[in-house]
Structure 1
Amino acid sequence: MTYYDFDSFRHDAKVLAQKVKSKFDPDAILGIARGGLTLAHFLANALDIRDCFSLNSIHYEKSKKLDTINIYNIPDLSKFKKVLITDDIIDSGESMVAIKKKISNMYPNLEIAVATIFYKPKALMLPNFTIKEADDWIEFFWDLSLE
């Protein structure tokens, strides 16, 4: 397991914001709850984007992968042209493929890009913008447990 601390995140979020700004310049950001919310918030601030939304997608219970992908609480994105979807990591890629497909079906004229901090190269899809390759489980600084 690899621990990912706040200072590393802060640095990587700045680098990721520069990459996004130079090649995509979104109208809105859509963070995948829960892992993509912190990144969505930081990128929204860095890119000066007020339209920052979230949706829920559940494909893991702690570190156990589930057999289903539940996607819900999708915001109204009809007034936007370019939306950046954020998550902490693309692991298998199954969740992000399902999310992109659902959003694209609902909003066929929407240009979508994906930004993550980490990705696994064998995933079904790779993010458009990313920072680090992951080769094991990542424990993020926001993974706070009260246990």
Structure 2
Amino acid sequence: MSDKLHIDYAQYHHLIDRVVDAVKNSGFQPDCVLGVSRGGLFLADGLSRSLRKPMAVIAASSYRGGEGTSQGELQISASIASVGPVSGKVLLVDDLADTGHTLKALCEYLRTICPTITEMKTAVVWVKPGSVFKPDFAAEYLESDVWIVQPFETRDFL
């Protein structure tokens, strides 16, 4: 996977709009948008503002190493940052479904720690071809396993 797909802010905002439109057109009205830190925060913010719903944040990471490009064991924060309860209909948001293991594990974990969730849907910007998890909403389904450099990640490669 040596190829890199560089996304600029204009492209990124267009992709966010595609996810927002997909959620709105589906009729799903979440009570809360739950963003996965770090990558899912831009999309979660866009959805939270467009849907006029509160945003909460959970931290999860499986990427390690000097450049944060090697995947290891998934770590999930013990708590959720939120001004209200994470309950009812929840939209779980991350930047991409790479292998899909993070989103799958987060869905299972959230149902355990937030038993008042009645419905959960997921949204991402990208879905890679090898993902074992298929999100409910996505802007793009990639045909190859390209490394995506998002506009806010430019500092990662200095």
Query: Does residue 1:53 correspond to 2:56, yes or no?
Result: yes
Instruction: Flag structure 1 segments of 5+ consecutive residues without an equivalent.
Output: none
1:17-70 per-position Cα deviation (integer Å, ceiling 9, x unaligned): 121123211111111000000111111111111x1011110101211111x111
Inter-partner Cα distance in structure 2 for 1:139 and 1:74:
27
Q: Secondary structure at the match of 1:121?
A: coil
1:10 maps to what in 2? 13
Once the two structures are superposed, the pairs formed by residues 1-147 of structure 1 within 5 Å of their partners are: 1-23=4-26, 24-49=28-53, 51-61=54-64, 62-66=68-72, 68-72=73-77, 73-75=79-81, 78=85, 80-110=87-117, 111-134=119-142, 135=144, 136-145=146-155, 147=158
> What is the RMSD computed on CA atoms of the aligned residues?
1.7
Instruction: Flag structure 2 segments of 5+ consecutive residues without an equivalent.
Output: none
- CA shift, 1:121, in A, is 2.8
| TM-score scaled by length of structure 2 | 0.84
Inter-partner Cα distance in structure 1 for 2:15 and 2:34:
18
Inter-partner Cα distance in structure 2 for 1:9 and 1:140:
8
Tell me if structure 1 keeps the 8 A contact 2:87–2:116. Answer: no
- CA shift, 1:79, in A, is 5.6
Counterpart residue type for residue 63 of structure 1: T
Inter-partner Cα distance in structure 2 for 1:142 and 1:25:
28
| TM-score scaled by length of structure 1 | 0.90
Inter-partner Cα distance in structure 1 for 2:5 and 2:15:
16
Q: Secondary structure at the match of 2:138?
A: coil
Give the aligned length: 145
Inter-partner Cα distance in structure 2 for 1:105 and 1:78:
14
- CA shift, 1:75, in A, is 4.3
Inter-partner Cα distance in structure 2 for 1:125 and 1:8:
24
Instruction: Give the 4+ runs in structure 1 shifted more than 3 A.
Output: 75-79
Q: Percent identity?
A: 26
Tell me if structure 1 keeps the 8 A contact 2:16–2:46. Answer: yes
Tell me if structure 2 keeps the 8 A contact 1:14–1:46. Answer: no
